[in-house]
A and B are shown apart, each in its own frame.
Chain A
Amino acid sequence: MRIAVILKAVPDLVEEMELTSDGTDLDREYLKFVTNEWDEQALEEALLLKDSDGAEVVAVGMADDPDIEQALYSAVAKGADRAVTIAGATGVDTRSRAAAVAAWLKDNPADLVLSGVQAPDDLDGQLPAALGAALGLPHVSVVVSVALDGAAAIVRQEFSGGRAADLNVTLPAVLGIQVARQAPRYAPVTRVRQVMQSTTIDEASVAVDEAAAGIRVRRMYPPEKTTHAEMIDGSPAEVAARIVELLRSRSLVKG
């Protein structure tokens, strides 16, 4: 059993973001990058499977992502067996990433490919779907638990309103993880540092055809400032009444 987890470095949202002067990208120069939080969930789910069923977990990142080594070392410190960076993606958009990862996976097949269901810069969660399509593999997203069952996996897919379905998926498959069964584990800094000494990240490079890139960014906009905050004054009873009124008027509660 081999599980590949696709990790992405995204800007730390606590930073103040600025756009480049031509307005087509974030100014990445002073930004701090962290691992996409949903990818952390995917990694945790993979490690849980490793703990319970035994598996080889490979953490995969794109060579061009800033600070991706840090994310990969940290993944190994948590229990991943190997780490790989892939060079050769032609753009920063999700389809080109998917194409690059798919190209690498063709030569390095995995039984399960896990990634976060979405990312701050991929809110519609294209990566798992695009990856499934590129590889011709079954794909399930918004997954909240995975259990292995021979040549298949039983995955729980979550829908809105707290409903969920257990699906039986034939392996190999691509899964977009919403949340792992446990909170992502901690990578103690001492371990990460030891891993940095003792582990080498494999470097792979793939050839991806230009056409893979699906989109071209023409212009980016900073979010509009909203000033809709309403301060509620009055006695506790008045404040409570106003809150109830607001909740009712916006149909956030029934009755």
Chain B
Amino acid sequence: MGGGVGGGVGQDVADTRKRLTVTVNGRQCSLMVEPNRTLLEFLREDLGLTGAREACDTGGCGACTVLVDGRPVYSCLVLAVDCQGKDVLTIEGLAVDGRLHPLQQAFIDHGAVQCGFCTPGMILTAKALLDENPAPTDEEVREAIAGNICRCTGYVKIIEAIRAAGGTGKPACT
């Protein structure tokens, strides 16, 4: 065996990069990227937006969820070059001028965060849900976030927080 993986930097290969123009968190950026870069790698490594997390790397956990044209996607399974002309929202783009999005505030107030590794993906998934369905039921929230694994919370407080942000939940306890 050997040589099958197809080279890293050490290898002498022609420049295969493509120009990618994409709007990220409302700002347009235009960069040369390798086609074998995933959207997740592009965001984390080229743009320094590390809020999208990598956990399973193969579409099974949702930690890498970002919104592309408003739709939640696993950014670990999307090529960066495939986002040409698209609008990407990451967790860093959610708070405006230091003011938290209601979902972010609800996650804080309801104790929906523990280790926090799933949190950005959860919040963005919830945002896509609330944008379409501002007052979801418990079951609708579960359906929507079922593609995001959380290992810490048992989902109870996450669901509470999302429903509260949607105006259909209980107020946070104090």
Q: Do these two chains really belong together in a complex?
A: no
Q: Which residues of B contact A (CB under 8 A)?
A: none
Q: Which residues of A contact B (CB under 8 A)?
A: none
